[in-house]
């Protein structure tokens, strides 16, 4: 049964720490970019999200957002937690990074 509470590290060295996991599936914590981020971005930023009820789904879907501290940016993650045959939990997720656009004409380049 996957539970998101604890510390997670991505293949690129980013770190997510889920410090509060409520009974309703809501969670909060912090996110630290990996070494590929520029120096101005290396600040721990808050995250908030939710996961499916693990009583209903043993390998739950989850989502969370990161509110970057230094820039007008947010990242949304959506994925699923899997438990392998050895009991090891892994997260598989996709993400979208949104930066503030100066105008509607600039909107096309604001999401990666």
Q: What pLDDT is recorded for position 55?
A: 83
Q: Are the C-beta atoms of residues 73 and 46 closer than 8 Å to each other?
A: no
Tell me the mean pLDDT in the region 26-41: 76
35 vs 39: CA distance, rounded Å: 9
Q: What pLDDT is recorded for position 27?
A: 95
Q: Please indicate whether residue 55 or residue 100 has the higher confidence score (pLDDT).
A: 100
62 vs 81: CA distance, rounded Å: 7
Confidence of residue 48 (pLDDT cuts 50, 70, 90): very high
Q: What pLDDT is recorded for position 29?
A: 95
Sort residue 36 into left (φ over 0), alpha (ψ -120 to 50) or beta.
alpha
Q: What pLDDT is recorded for position 18?
A: 93
Q: What pLDDT is recorded for position 42?
A: 61
pTM of the full predicted structure? 0.86
Domains of the chain: 6-106 (2.40.128.30)
Residue in this structure with the two tokens 């539970």, named with its chain if needed: 3
Closest by Cα among 6, 7, 11, 5 to 92? 11
What is the Cα 94 distance to its own chain's centre?
9
Tell me the mean pLDDT in the region 56-80: 91
Q: Please indicate whether residue 26 or residue 12 has the higher confidence score (pLDDT).
A: 26
DSSP character for 111?
B
């Amino acid at each position: 049964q996957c539970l998101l509470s604890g510390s997670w590290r991505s293949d690129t060295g980013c770190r997510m720490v889920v410090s509060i996991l409520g009974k309703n599936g809501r969670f909060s914590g912090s996110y630290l970019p990996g070494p590929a981020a520029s120096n101005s971005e290396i600040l721990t930023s808050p995250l908030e999200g939710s996961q499916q009820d693990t009583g209903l789904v043993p390998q739950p879907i989850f989502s969370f957002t990161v509110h970057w501290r230094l820039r007008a940016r947010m990242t949304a993650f959506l994925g699923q937690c899997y438990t392998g045959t050895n009991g090891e939990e892994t997260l598989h997720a996709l993400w979208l990074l949104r930066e503030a656009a100066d105008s509607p004409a600039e909107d096309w380049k604001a999401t990666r």
